């Protein structure tokens, strides 16, 4: 998982190619998660709501 999804999508793809069956990517990254699910998480990582 990364701030905005880009890097984690690349890593997820690589892990699947390497045989990991449960690799998942969090769409939108931690910022989207914080905006939609848990605003307190954004405070912990120092990110503003966008």
Tokens read off for 27: 């769409």
Of 30, 29, 34, nearest in space to 49 by CA: 34
> Which structural domain, as residue segments, surrounds residue 31?
6-45
Residue 21 confidence (pLDDT)? 93
Residue 14 confidence (pLDDT)? 94
- How many CB atoms neighbour CB 19 within 10 A? 7
Residue 33 lies in a domain: yes
Overall domain count for the chain: 1
Question: pTM for this structure?
Answer: 0.57
Please report, rounded to a whole number, the percentage of residues in the chain having pLDDT higher than 70: 72
Angle at 25 between CA 49 and CA 22, to 5 degrees: 145
Residue 50 lies in a domain: no
Residue 14 lies in a domain: yes
Residue 38 lies in a domain: yes
Residue 20 confidence (pLDDT)? 96
Which residue is it, tokens 């848990």? 38
């Amino acid at each position: 998982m990364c701030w905005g999804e880009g890097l984690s999508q690349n890593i997820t793809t690589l892990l699947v190619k390497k045989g990991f069956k449960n690799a998942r990517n969090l769409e939108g990254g931690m910022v989207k998660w914080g905006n939609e699910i848990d605003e307190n998480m954004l405070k912990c990582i120092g990110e503003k709501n966008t």
